[in-house]
């Protein structure tokens, strides 16, 4: 890539430059050798993981878990277990992820790597981790491809769950309540209600007064080529509702003029 954009790379130990005439063959040979080496290491590591999984040996590696210490291959709850429990409690009680993040910051909770602020992704990963129930799942995810460094979905892998392997941090009823809410949030997202930040502020807030489904943002091209945003009932998109489509500027205007009465028909 560097050579392609005119940048020279010199390898001091080998005494060669990417700009040398005839270096191409040398480099492609070296690259092939390096790639083969990487593949062979990758195969060895995968083989070792598989054998360990078969023998029921946990491989935490860099995947340490908040709330547990690994002592002689056994998971033991540590002082962060209360942080984990609080996350589950608050989520089950209906708190938004952002509220949970703020609550954690206010009590000075720390992440696994010692940061004092949790991310959305970290909270979600904790809520979905069945290790907290005392179960242990070996080989949860596919192996990583040695070239792309991404999970290799082509290669088969076997996952195996051992129940009551270690001390639970989360009781089953609490775990079940959390999984239930995660699932229902997932379903809401599927019909267009978005509560995550980063999406349009009207998502999940404009609800149809006729069929009760959320409105979705649509873009139409005007004759002069400019784009206009509208909000359309999900039911109308599916053909089960005939409520009218509203121009986005009508919603914003109504909101900024604080004309809440005319908007209340559309905005929940
Ligand atoms: Zn509708």
**Cα 268 to averaged position of ligand 1 atoms, centre (Å):** 13
- Cβ–Cβ < 8 Å for 39, 146: yes
**What's the pLDDT at 221?**
83
Q: What is the pTM for the complete model shown?
A: 0.50
E strands along the chain, which residues? 10-11, 16-17, 68-71, 74-77, 136-138, 160-162, 215-221, 227-233, 246-247
208 within domain boundaries: no
Same domain, 184 and 62: yes
201: CA distance to ligand 1 center in Å? Answer: 19
Q: How many domains does the chain have?
A: 3
Q: Is residue 176 part of a domain?
A: yes
Residues with CB under 5 A from ligand 1 (ion): 208, 210-211, 233, 235, 241, 243
Question: Are 144 and 161 in a shared domain?
Answer: yes
Dihedral pair phi/psi, residue 6, rounded to 5°: 80, 25
Four-CA torsion 240, 244, 248, 253, nearest 10 degrees? -140
CA distance 82 to 157: 33
Under a CB-based contact definition with an 8 Å cutoff, are residues 263 and 256 in contact? no
Q: How far is the CA of 235 from the centre of ligand 1 (A)?
A: 5
Cα 149 to Cα 39, 46, 63, 157, 175: the distances in Å are: 12, 13, 16, 16, 32
What would the two tokens of residue 88 be? Answer: 């589950």
CA 239 to centroid of ligand 1, rounded, Å: 9
Residue pair 150/46 in contact by the 8 Å Cβ criterion: no
Sequence-distant (6+) residues with CB within 8 A of 193 are 203, 204, 214
Residue ranges, the chain, pLDDT below 50:
196-198, 259-268
Specify the pLDDT at position 140.
Answer: 63
Residue 254 in domain: yes
The answer as to whether 198 is a domain residue is no
Instruction: Indicate if 90 and 134 belong to the same structural domain.
Output: yes
How many Cα atoms within 13 Å fall on the side-chain side of residue 147?
Answer: 6
Gyration radius of the chain over CA positions:
27
Domain membership of residue 197 (yes or no) is: no
What's phi and psi for 161, nearest 5 deg? -115, 130
Q: What spacing in Å lies between the alpha carbon of 128 and ligand 1's midpoint?
A: 34
Dump pLDDT digits (tens) for 149-188: 677 766 676 777 888 889 999 999 999 999 999 998 887 7
Number of H helices and number of E strands within the chain? 8, 9
Alpha carbon of 217 to ligand 1 centroid (Å): 14
Beta strands in 34-85 (DSSP E): 68-71, 74-77
Measured in Å, residue 197 CA sits from the centre of ligand 1 at 24
Tell me how far the alpha carbon of residue 264 lies from the centroid of ligand 1, in angstroms.
15
| Host domain of residue 86 | 58-190
Query: Is residue 7 located within the same domain as residue 31?
Result: yes
Sheet arrangement for strand 215-221 = 215-221, 227-233, 246-247
151/29 same-domain check: no
Q: Output the CA 243–ligand 1 centroid distance in Å.
A: 5
Is the same domain home to 64 and 137? yes
The Cα–Cα gap between 63 and 112 comes to 10
Spacing, Cα 258 to ligand 1 middle (Å): 24
Tell whether 11 is covered by a domain.
Answer: yes
User: Rounded to a whole number, what is the largest CA-CA distance in the chain?
Assistant: 77
pLDDT of residue 192: 59
215 - beta bridge partners? Answer: 233
Cα(38) to centroid(ligand 1), Å: 56
């Amino acid at each position: 890539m560097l050579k392609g954009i005119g940048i020279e790379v010199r390898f001091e130990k080998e005494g060669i430059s990417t700009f040398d005439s005839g270096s191409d063959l040398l480099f492609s040979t070296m690259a092939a050798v390096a790639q083969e080496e990487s593949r062979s290491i990758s195969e060895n590591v995968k083989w070792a993981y598989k054998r360990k999984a078969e023998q029921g040996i946990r491989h935490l590696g860099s995947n340490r878990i908040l709330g547990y210490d690994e002592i002689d291959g056994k998971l033991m709850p540590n002082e962060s277990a209360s942080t984990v429990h609080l996350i589950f409690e608050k989520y089950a009680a209906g708190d938004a992820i952002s509220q949970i993040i703020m609550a954690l910051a206010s009590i000075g909770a720390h992440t696994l790597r010692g940061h004092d602020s949790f991310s959305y992704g970290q909270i979600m990963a904790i809520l979905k981790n069945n290790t907290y129930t005392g179960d242990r799942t070996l080989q949860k995810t596919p192996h990583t491809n040695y070239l792309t460094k991404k999970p290799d979905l082509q290669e088969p892998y076997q996952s195996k769950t051992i129940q009551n392997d270690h001390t639970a941090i989360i009781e089953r009823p609490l775990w079940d309540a959390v999984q239930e809410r995660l699932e229902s949030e997932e379903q809401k997202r599927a019909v267009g209600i978005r509560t995550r930040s980063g999406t349009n502020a009207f998502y999940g807030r404009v609800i149809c007064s006729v069929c009760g489904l959320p409105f979705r943002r649509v873009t139409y091209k005007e004759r002069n080529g400019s784009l206009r945003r509208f909000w359309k009932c999900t039911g109308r998109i599916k053909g089960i509702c005939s409520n009218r489509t509203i121009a986005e500027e009508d919603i914003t205007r109504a909101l900024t003029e604080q004309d809440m009465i005319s908007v209340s028909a559309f905005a929940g």
